[in-house]
Amino acid sequence: MSERVLIERRGHILVITINRPEAKNAFDLASAQAMHAAMDLLDAEDGFFVGVITGAGGTFSAGADLKAVARNERAVTERGGFGMFKRPSRKPLIAAVEGFAVGGGLELCLSCDLIVAARNARMGLPEVRHNVAAVGGGLFRLPRRIPYHVAMELALTGGFQDAEFFRHYGLVNRISEPGHALADAIAFAEELLVNGPTALAASKEIMLQSANWTDEEAWSRQAPIAAIAFEAEDRTEGLRAFAEKRKPVWRGR
Protein backbone atom coordinates (compact mmCIF):
# COMPACT_ATOMS: atom_id res chain seq x y z
CA MET A 1 0.00 0.00 0.00
CA SER A 2 1.27 3.48 -0.86
CA GLU A 3 2.09 6.02 1.84
CA ARG A 4 -0.53 8.21 0.16
CA VAL A 5 -3.23 5.98 1.61
CA LEU A 6 -2.68 4.31 4.98
CA ILE A 7 -4.59 1.28 6.20
CA GLU A 8 -5.18 0.03 9.71
CA ARG A 9 -7.04 -3.01 10.95
CA ARG A 10 -9.43 -2.35 13.83
CA GLY A 11 -10.81 -5.84 14.38
CA HIS A 12 -13.27 -6.37 11.51
CA ILE A 13 -13.02 -2.71 10.45
CA LEU A 14 -10.54 -1.46 7.84
CA VAL A 15 -9.62 2.18 8.49
CA ILE A 16 -8.40 3.89 5.30
CA THR A 17 -6.65 7.25 5.71
CA ILE A 18 -5.93 9.58 2.80
CA ASN A 19 -2.43 10.72 3.70
CA ARG A 20 -1.46 13.83 1.76
CA PRO A 21 -2.05 16.54 4.37
CA GLU A 22 0.50 18.81 2.66
CA ALA A 23 -1.83 18.83 -0.37
CA LYS A 24 -5.08 18.86 1.68
CA ASN A 25 -5.45 15.19 0.74
CA ALA A 26 -5.98 16.01 -2.93
CA PHE A 27 -5.79 13.04 -5.28
CA ASP A 28 -3.20 12.39 -7.95
CA LEU A 29 -2.85 9.13 -9.87
CA ALA A 30 -0.71 7.46 -7.19
CA SER A 31 -3.35 8.31 -4.57
CA ALA A 32 -6.10 6.84 -6.75
CA GLN A 33 -4.08 3.67 -7.28
CA ALA A 34 -3.54 3.36 -3.53
CA MET A 35 -7.27 3.82 -2.83
CA HIS A 36 -8.03 1.21 -5.50
CA ALA A 37 -5.72 -1.21 -3.68
CA ALA A 38 -7.47 -0.46 -0.38
CA MET A 39 -10.84 -1.24 -1.95
CA ASP A 40 -9.43 -4.50 -3.33
CA LEU A 41 -8.16 -5.44 0.12
CA LEU A 42 -11.48 -4.67 1.78
CA ASP A 43 -13.33 -6.76 -0.80
CA ALA A 44 -10.88 -9.66 -0.75
CA GLU A 45 -10.49 -10.32 2.98
CA ASP A 46 -13.39 -12.12 4.64
CA GLY A 47 -12.26 -10.74 8.00
CA PHE A 48 -13.04 -7.16 7.01
CA PHE A 49 -16.75 -6.39 7.32
CA VAL A 50 -16.82 -2.56 7.10
CA GLY A 51 -14.52 0.17 5.80
CA VAL A 52 -14.03 3.68 7.23
CA ILE A 53 -12.44 6.38 5.08
CA THR A 54 -10.92 9.51 6.60
CA GLY A 55 -8.25 12.11 5.86
CA ALA A 56 -5.03 13.01 7.66
CA GLY A 57 -4.27 16.44 9.06
CA GLY A 58 -7.79 17.63 9.80
CA THR A 59 -9.04 17.64 6.20
CA PHE A 60 -11.03 14.93 4.44
CA SER A 61 -10.12 15.83 0.84
CA ALA A 62 -9.91 18.96 -1.28
CA GLY A 63 -10.61 16.89 -4.40
CA ALA A 64 -8.35 16.51 -7.40
CA ASP A 65 -4.71 17.61 -7.25
CA LEU A 66 -4.73 20.55 -9.67
CA LYS A 67 -0.97 20.31 -10.16
CA ALA A 68 -1.43 16.75 -11.40
CA VAL A 69 -4.32 17.87 -13.60
CA ALA A 70 -2.09 20.58 -15.10
CA ARG A 71 0.38 17.91 -16.21
CA ASN A 72 -2.48 15.90 -17.76
CA GLU A 73 -2.43 13.28 -15.03
CA ARG A 74 -5.84 11.80 -14.25
CA ALA A 75 -6.56 10.28 -10.83
CA VAL A 76 -8.52 7.42 -12.39
CA THR A 77 -8.21 3.61 -12.22
CA GLU A 78 -10.39 0.71 -13.34
CA ARG A 79 -12.57 1.43 -10.31
CA GLY A 80 -13.10 4.98 -11.53
CA GLY A 81 -12.00 8.37 -10.24
CA PHE A 82 -9.97 8.42 -7.02
CA GLY A 83 -9.77 4.64 -7.31
CA MET A 84 -13.39 4.06 -6.25
CA PHE A 85 -16.02 6.48 -7.67
CA LYS A 86 -17.34 4.01 -10.23
CA ARG A 87 -16.86 0.83 -8.24
CA PRO A 88 -16.39 1.27 -4.48
CA SER A 89 -16.13 -1.71 -2.17
CA ARG A 90 -19.04 -4.13 -2.10
CA LYS A 91 -18.93 -3.84 1.71
CA PRO A 92 -20.36 -0.91 3.69
CA LEU A 93 -18.22 2.24 3.69
CA ILE A 94 -18.40 5.08 6.19
CA ALA A 95 -16.85 8.50 5.47
CA ALA A 96 -15.40 10.25 8.53
CA VAL A 97 -15.20 13.92 7.56
CA GLU A 98 -13.15 16.65 9.22
CA GLY A 99 -12.46 19.99 7.58
CA PHE A 100 -13.17 20.22 3.87
CA ALA A 101 -14.77 17.57 1.66
CA VAL A 102 -15.14 19.52 -1.57
CA GLY A 103 -15.20 18.68 -5.26
CA GLY A 104 -13.91 15.14 -5.53
CA GLY A 105 -13.81 15.07 -1.73
CA LEU A 106 -17.60 15.32 -1.60
CA GLU A 107 -17.84 12.81 -4.45
CA LEU A 108 -15.72 10.48 -2.34
CA CYS A 109 -18.31 10.84 0.45
CA LEU A 110 -21.06 10.12 -2.07
CA SER A 111 -19.24 6.88 -2.98
CA CYS A 112 -19.66 5.81 0.65
CA ASP A 113 -22.83 4.50 2.25
CA LEU A 114 -22.84 6.44 5.51
CA ILE A 115 -21.31 9.80 6.48
CA VAL A 116 -20.13 11.04 9.87
CA ALA A 117 -19.03 14.68 9.75
CA ALA A 118 -17.54 17.09 12.27
CA ARG A 119 -19.81 19.99 13.09
CA ASN A 120 -17.42 22.46 11.44
CA ALA A 121 -16.86 20.39 8.28
CA ARG A 122 -17.49 22.14 4.96
CA MET A 123 -18.76 20.31 1.88
CA GLY A 124 -19.60 21.32 -1.67
CA LEU A 125 -19.00 21.06 -5.42
CA PRO A 126 -16.93 24.10 -6.49
CA GLU A 127 -16.05 22.79 -9.96
CA VAL A 128 -18.13 25.39 -11.83
CA ARG A 129 -15.90 28.10 -10.39
CA HIS A 130 -13.11 26.65 -12.53
CA ASN A 131 -15.38 26.15 -15.56
CA VAL A 132 -15.44 22.37 -15.21
CA ALA A 133 -18.20 19.93 -14.31
CA ALA A 134 -18.15 17.52 -11.37
CA VAL A 135 -17.80 14.25 -13.29
CA GLY A 136 -16.95 12.03 -10.29
CA GLY A 137 -20.58 11.15 -9.67
CA GLY A 138 -21.58 14.28 -7.78
CA LEU A 139 -23.99 15.59 -10.40
CA PHE A 140 -26.09 12.43 -10.48
CA ARG A 141 -25.59 11.00 -6.98
CA LEU A 142 -26.26 14.22 -5.09
CA PRO A 143 -29.78 14.89 -6.53
CA ARG A 144 -30.71 11.28 -5.74
CA ARG A 145 -29.93 11.81 -2.08
CA ILE A 146 -31.06 15.35 -1.32
CA PRO A 147 -33.85 17.47 -2.85
CA TYR A 148 -33.32 18.39 -6.50
CA HIS A 149 -33.35 22.17 -6.05
CA VAL A 150 -30.96 22.00 -3.10
CA ALA A 151 -28.55 19.85 -5.11
CA MET A 152 -28.90 22.18 -8.10
CA GLU A 153 -28.07 25.22 -5.99
CA LEU A 154 -24.92 23.54 -4.70
CA ALA A 155 -23.87 22.51 -8.20
CA LEU A 156 -24.58 25.87 -9.88
CA THR A 157 -23.25 28.20 -7.18
CA GLY A 158 -20.22 26.12 -6.26
CA GLY A 159 -20.85 27.13 -2.65
CA PHE A 160 -19.94 25.23 0.51
CA GLN A 161 -22.26 24.28 3.35
CA ASP A 162 -21.61 22.92 6.83
CA ALA A 163 -22.39 19.49 8.23
CA GLU A 164 -25.61 20.62 9.89
CA PHE A 165 -26.94 21.72 6.47
CA PHE A 166 -26.28 18.28 4.98
CA ARG A 167 -27.61 16.56 8.09
CA HIS A 168 -30.86 18.49 7.70
CA TYR A 169 -31.28 17.14 4.16
CA GLY A 170 -30.33 13.58 5.13
CA LEU A 171 -26.91 13.29 3.48
CA VAL A 172 -24.93 13.26 6.73
CA ASN A 173 -25.97 10.52 9.14
CA ARG A 174 -24.27 11.76 12.30
CA ILE A 175 -22.63 14.97 13.53
CA SER A 176 -19.44 14.86 15.58
CA GLU A 177 -17.58 17.44 17.56
CA PRO A 178 -14.45 18.66 15.74
CA GLY A 179 -11.64 16.14 15.98
CA HIS A 180 -13.96 13.23 16.79
CA ALA A 181 -15.33 12.21 13.38
CA LEU A 182 -13.07 9.18 13.01
CA ALA A 183 -13.74 7.87 16.53
CA ASP A 184 -17.47 8.32 16.03
CA ALA A 185 -17.34 6.66 12.60
CA ILE A 186 -15.54 3.66 14.10
CA ALA A 187 -18.16 3.47 16.85
CA PHE A 188 -20.83 3.60 14.12
CA ALA A 189 -19.06 0.79 12.25
CA GLU A 190 -18.98 -1.27 15.44
CA GLU A 191 -22.76 -0.97 15.64
CA LEU A 192 -22.94 -2.66 12.24
CA LEU A 193 -20.66 -5.50 13.33
CA VAL A 194 -23.38 -7.15 15.41
CA ASN A 195 -25.07 -7.98 12.10
CA GLY A 196 -24.11 -10.70 9.64
CA PRO A 197 -21.38 -9.39 7.28
CA THR A 198 -22.59 -11.24 4.20
CA ALA A 199 -26.07 -9.83 4.86
CA LEU A 200 -24.61 -6.33 5.18
CA ALA A 201 -22.90 -6.63 1.80
CA ALA A 202 -26.00 -8.14 0.16
CA SER A 203 -28.28 -5.44 1.61
CA LYS A 204 -25.96 -2.72 0.31
CA GLU A 205 -25.86 -4.27 -3.16
CA ILE A 206 -29.63 -4.64 -3.43
CA MET A 207 -30.22 -1.06 -2.35
CA LEU A 208 -27.67 0.24 -4.86
CA GLN A 209 -28.92 -1.86 -7.76
CA SER A 210 -32.61 -1.25 -7.05
CA ALA A 211 -32.37 2.27 -8.46
CA ASN A 212 -32.16 0.64 -11.90
CA TRP A 213 -35.04 -1.82 -11.38
CA THR A 214 -38.79 -1.56 -11.73
CA ASP A 215 -40.76 -2.97 -8.81
CA GLU A 216 -41.61 -6.01 -10.91
CA GLU A 217 -37.95 -6.63 -11.80
CA ALA A 218 -36.81 -6.13 -8.21
CA TRP A 219 -38.48 -9.32 -6.94
CA SER A 220 -36.40 -11.54 -9.20
CA ARG A 221 -33.21 -9.48 -9.40
CA GLN A 222 -32.72 -9.24 -5.66
CA ALA A 223 -32.88 -13.03 -5.28
CA PRO A 224 -29.37 -14.01 -6.47
CA ILE A 225 -27.83 -11.19 -4.43
CA ALA A 226 -29.73 -12.13 -1.28
CA ALA A 227 -28.77 -15.76 -1.85
CA ILE A 228 -25.16 -14.89 -1.03
CA ALA A 229 -26.29 -14.17 2.53
CA PHE A 230 -28.85 -16.98 2.78
CA GLU A 231 -26.32 -19.58 1.63
CA ALA A 232 -23.35 -18.30 3.65
CA GLU A 233 -21.69 -20.04 6.58
CA ASP A 234 -22.65 -16.99 8.63
CA ARG A 235 -26.35 -17.76 8.08
CA THR A 236 -25.88 -21.16 9.73
CA GLU A 237 -23.90 -19.56 12.54
CA GLY A 238 -26.60 -16.93 13.07
CA LEU A 239 -29.30 -19.56 13.46
CA ARG A 240 -27.14 -21.69 15.75
CA ALA A 241 -26.24 -18.69 17.92
CA PHE A 242 -29.92 -17.76 18.24
CA ALA A 243 -30.82 -21.30 19.31
CA GLU A 244 -27.93 -21.37 21.80
CA LYS A 245 -28.77 -17.89 23.13
CA ARG A 246 -25.30 -16.47 22.46
CA LYS A 247 -23.73 -13.83 20.25
CA PRO A 248 -22.82 -15.12 16.78
CA VAL A 249 -19.19 -15.34 15.74
CA TRP A 250 -19.23 -13.98 12.21
CA ARG A 251 -16.57 -15.01 9.68
CA GLY A 252 -17.62 -13.04 6.61
CA ARG A 253 -18.30 -16.08 4.50
**Do residues 25 and 111 both lie within one domain?**
yes
How many other CB atoms are there within 10 angstroms of residue 153's CB atom? Answer: 12
Domain final position from 174, 192, 210 = 192
Secondary structure (3-state) at 8: strand
Model pLDDT, residue 2:
72
One domain, residues 46 and 101: yes
- Each residue's pLDDT, cut to its tens digit, for the chain (253 residues) gives 579 999 999 999 999 999 999 999 999 999 999 999 999 999 999 999 999 999 999 999 999 998 898 899 999 999 999 999 999 999 999 999 999 999 999 999 999 999 999 999 999 999 999 999 999 999 999 999 999 999 999 999 999 999 999 999 999 999 999 999 999 999 999 999 999 999 999 999 999 999 899 999 999 999 999 999 999 988 998 888 889 888 899 998 9
Give the three-class secondary structure for 135: coil
Residue 171 forms part of a structural domain: yes
Of the residues 8, 78, 127, 237, only one is catalytic, namely 127
pTM above 0.85, yes or no: yes
Tell me: do 142 and 219 sit in the same domain: no
Assess whether 142 and 228 both reside in one domain.
Answer: no
In the set 78, 98, 107, 231, the catalytic residue is 107
Report yes or no: 200 and 50 within 8 Å, Cβ to Cβ: yes
pLDDT for the residue 151:
98
Asked if 124 and 13 sit in the same domain, the reply is yes
> What local confidence, expressed as pLDDT, does residue 222 receive?
96
Do residues 185 and 205 share a domain?
A: no
Helix (H, G, I), strand (E, B) or coil at 195: coil
* 155 lies in the same domain as 125: yes
The reported pLDDT for the residue numbered 1 is 59
Residue 166 falls inside a structural domain: yes
Cross-strand partners of 118: 176
Neighbours of 7 (CB within 10 A): 16
If asked whether residues 104 and 173 sit together in one domain, one would say yes
127 is catalytic: yes
In-domain check, residue 248: no
**Coil, strand or helix at 103:** coil
Q: Which domain holds residue 125?
A: 5-192
Question: Are residues 158 and 235 both part of a single domain?
Answer: no
In-domain check, residue 81: yes
Amino acid at 182: L
Q: Which of 56, 107, 90 is nearest to 202 (CA)?
A: 90
Residue 3 annotated as catalytic: no
* Domains of the chain: total: 2
